[in-house]
Amino acid sequence: MERCAAHRAPEDERRVRANAREYNEKFQYASNCIKTSKYNIVTFLPVNLFEQFQEVANTYFLFLLILQLIPQISSLSWFTTIVPLVLVLTITAVKDATDDYFRHKSDNQVNNRQSQVLIGGVLRQEQWMNVRVGDIIKLENNQFVAADLLLLSSSEPHGLCYIETAELDGETNMKVRQAIPVTAELGDTSQLARFDGEVICEPPNNKLDKFGGTLYWKESKYPLSNQNMLLRGCVLRNTEWCFGLVIFAGPDTKLMQNSGRTKFKRTSIDRLMNTLVLWIFGFLVCMGVILAIGNAIWEHEVGVCFQIYLPWDEGVHSAFFSGFLSFWSYIIILNTVVPISLYVSVEVIRLGHSYFINWDKKMYCAKRRTPAEARTTTLNEELGQVEYIFSDKTGTLTQNIMVFSKCSVNGHSYGDVQDILGHKAELGERPEPVDFSFNPLADPRFQFWDPSLLEAVKLGDLHVHEFFRLLSLCHTVMSEEKSEGELLYKAQSPDEGALVTAARNFGFVFRSRTPKTITVHELGQAITYQLLAILDFNNIRKRMSVIIRSPEGKIRLYCKGADTILLERLHPINQDLTSITTDHLNEYAGEGLRTLVLAYRDLEESYYRDWSERLHRAGCAPEAREDHLARLYDEVEHDMMLLGATAIEDKLQQGVPETIAILTLANIKIWVLTGDKQETAVNIGYSCKMLTDDMTEVFVVTGHTVLEVREELRKAREKMMDASRSMCNGFSYQEKLSSKLTSVLEAIAGEYALVINGHSLAHALEADMEAEFLETACACKAVICCRVTPLQKAQVVELVKKYKKAVTLAIGDGANDVSMIKTAHIGVGISGQEGIQAVLASDYSFSQFKFLQRLLLVHGRWSYLRMCKFLCYFFYKNFAFTMVHFWFGFFCGFSAQTVYDQYFITLYNIVYTSLPVLAMGVFDQDVPEQRSMEYPKLYEPGQLNLLFNKREFFICIAQGIYTSILMFFIPYGVFADATRDDGAQLADYQSFAVTVATSLVIVVSVQIGLDTGFWTAINHFFIWGSLAAYFAILFTMHSDGLFLMFPNQFRFVGNAQNTLAQPTVWLTIALTTVVCIVPVVAFRFLKLDLKPELSDTVRYTQLVRKKQKTQHRCMRHAGRVGSRRSGYAFSHQEGFGELIMSGKNMRLSSLALSSFAPRPSTSWIETLRKKKGCEGSSAGSPSGAADKTLKV
């Protein structure tokens, strides 16, 4: 993202005067124009070519092209290089132009949106790009906010307006903003046109939740806060109109400041290829030097004797200079060891893999009509190498849909499902839900399974009545009645919505509110309570309270909040009830439910008046306002009477436990990074089967200082080491940790988990302790980080990337996950309840967490397999092709003469061998998708990088060199004494060239047939079609017709026909093919028999049971239901209560399982993993899996 305006020096503060463009323009503030595109019509060609030639490969081929234009050193025509180079540059340029076109289109769409700007006292339609800082603009309902605005006035009483911020922070609930009183009355354009206030505020920054400034107007100053701001990206809701003053525009807006720059991501195979290309270039130089030395020696010893009829070229005066020129000639000839078509083919294959992801119907969510989307084409094969997954919790693992599940009232627990005998029912034995038909205002979607709670309401249980009265009064929910009896609640958090809905169904219906009253229908009777104060929620208080006056004049405080906070504020008389309720809380938390404690306190009239006066003075305090208010809130929220507790279930997304279990079996470690509290996160961990009761130990790190955290981490490591020593008969681990922090801890016996809090994590991520933290965490099967900030999420991912040579994947659904998604090697966005910021920043997106299993185990594994097979074959076929020139050099006086004609050299990688290898790279698979999901251990070779590495590369090169030797010397030996049918000598240069070229095309075609594991009609067509194309082009180039048209280019008329008519030639081709291919076939048969891979065993098993009906594995459902404690204190938001209590007349409008957790057993590949993970260390972990044994 760039500015449309010129770059400016950083600001210390911002000064903005309303309706004064000339004054504001002297500060050179950025305009509201957004530019994310890179090119325009004039700059596209030069800039794009400059960028493309920054790639080493393109520069290398340009250098070769220049060399080929020098007649003294070039034995090949220039078109052999320029044709593929221009093709690559053109394809890349078209792709870049297309991408930039869509960026231009997006920019134009945004910049050309219309906005009403107040100019000269008249509202004029202006494009967004023409809006300037200091302008006053008018917004109407459902319009996007054009820039960061100071809210001046609105259609709502006292300057209130409602906004939706899903595009900004991922939250879908409505938020309220309010104009300061002095501007709230500026409702018409004439008043606003005369407004000349000046705002002095903070400079542009990326803090979404903070704003500080002052408005100077009419010799007075008024403080401004975030509650007075409308940020770009928000949408105006349920507000007819509002006016705002532009403070920040375009790239200075907080939305654009948070965008950041997307990091360029490259796969490990890309990095390896760059290294290999450098090695190959070094090898090319070495071959050039050898042949150049040979040329110099030959010219000095032999060539000097033939100067009379074979003189040196003009300008060549010595054998040394001849060798120097020969060096460059051979660099040109041998450059095809790294053909430019390699890079084009890689991009085509990746594009094909991306389309397969986009087209996968099994990753399509019909409910949301959302398909999976590959938003990048460069990372597909890395999906098959992931070792660490970093996941958000709410909205990613869970649905972010809260359900009122259980409650405790006056020591009695409600919510357990009971059978007809009164015993607790087992899962699957649920009776009919409670019938709420007595209540015409009940929400038909609400379900509860314990009828005893409704009976208590009907029987007049005072404690139960007070319990639901509290739930109907103590909240900040907004109610809208679309028709008689049809209520629509808009809550800041889904927790609050669930609690108010529960009270509604049990007869305590919240109907409406004004800033000073709340109307509730209690068992059919409308009662209006006077709302005296709202003691707002924040993350420090972890509770909220309301003070109300009943119709009888009684003043009461109702409070709800986290159990850790509220229980210590109760009156001592509640001790026995507290003990019982605590037991219920622990029971609910054990089931993973989000819990909340409810309490109340009666206030004396005199005390309340005194406290209210002090509250008013604190609210007007110029300094430390929040501290004064916090002390007063704390004072009144003491000696409360306990009412009970609620338990809310945040339902897991479908398939989450199964997905986590299977990914764990694939040896992928899953870390959950969440903003929720510890109890909440731990309980979700149990629900997801990340944590199990079978684990050896779950370590919890909660230290508040560096020393405490270091000590807790040290004790955790010691326990793991001690346990492992005892299990391994006292074996002592003395090995030192390697530089990569791979230690013996990672191979310990037993299963451990680590839970760490946000304040502890802040210390653990410090430079002197990050190594200890990572060592401990990586030794654990599961890691849960609680109460973490977005920045900490990114820091954890960066830490693993820094020290571990492992591929990381981050997955989330909210704006707070963007930094983590951008930092990881692969970012996945969930298109869920929290906007699309995560999706926009991601590399891949889909709608449900369970699709991650298919993305990695099927698409990722196949992409990695295909790319590795493609690269192995590509390097093989090009070394087999190119090295023939090297051997020929020793028999042609090192004269840089080519074996093949120049047209074959040009077409070899473009026509004859390109399509078959592309078909294999796009369509090949070793086992079907069902087996990939059924046997997660098949995923491990990608993690260990077994299929393409330096060792595999050298094997491919060796096979290519071996093939080139046979390809040259067998025809050479045969042709030495061979004759034609008519007795003439067979050994002429062109016949030899045709024989070698034909042998090469046939051998590499047979080789790719052996390498192809999954045959399609396309594979057949490309392989056999390429062979047919070769012969067709060969005969055409040696035809009479081409000779007559281009006599200087196609001189060897009838050579191909005459050569291939000789039986000796075909016998030579057959012998060459057999000798090249048979050793490869023999080696593969022996390897399959003696040391099969897991995929080989799976294929064999599939063949054995091919005639049987495929058996689908069924997962046994049972067990533990997940939930969390005290989630309310972290899903709510501060500031809403103050607006409700602002004393203004607010319009009544809407505001905005399984137990599948088997332990992974040691697989055939475990020894290789230990080599990678524990160099020089022994673990004594159980072995026991034969190579041929299937391990899941």
Which positions are catalytic?
392
Burial of 622 (0-12, 13-18, 19+ CB in 10 A): exposed
Cβ neighbours of 617 (radius 10 Å)? 11
Helix axes 989-1011, 1017-1037, angle to 10 degrees: 180
DSSP state of 738: P
| DSSP three-state, residue 525 | strand
Burial of 997 (0-12, 13-18, 19+ CB in 10 A): buried
- Residue 284 host element (H or E): helix 268-301
872 within 8 A of 881, measured Cβ to Cβ = no
517 within 8 A of 445, measured Cβ to Cβ = no
689 within 8 A of 661, measured Cβ to Cβ = yes
Indicate the length of the chain as a whole number. 1192
Phi, psi of 1014 (to 5 degrees): -140, 105
CA distance 267 to 385: 10
CA distance 848 to 654: 8
Amino acid at 81: T
SS (H, E, C) 864-926: HHHHHHHHHHHHHHHHHHHHHHHHHHCCCCCCCCCCCCHHHHHHHHHHHCHHHHHHHHHHCCC
DSSP state of 595: E
CA distance 495 to 562: 13
Amino acid at 642: L
Query: What is the sign of the dihedral through the CA atoms of 397, 403, 405 and 406?
Result: positive
Which residues, other chains included, contact 1170 with Cβ-Cβ below 8 Å and sequence gap of 6+?
A: 747, 1179
Q: How far is CA 782 from CA 78, 390, 660, 711, 789, in A?
A: 59, 11, 11, 20, 20
746 within 8 A of 1176, measured Cβ to Cβ = no
DSSP state of 404: E
CA distance 582 to 576: 10
Burial of 1096 (0-12, 13-18, 19+ CB in 10 A): middle
CA distance 1091 to 1097: 10
Which residues, other chains included, contact 404 with Cβ-Cβ below 8 Å and sequence gap of 6+?
A: 446, 448, 498, 499, 501, 502, 646, 648
Hey, what are 67's tokens? 């060399």
CA distance 741 to 99: 41
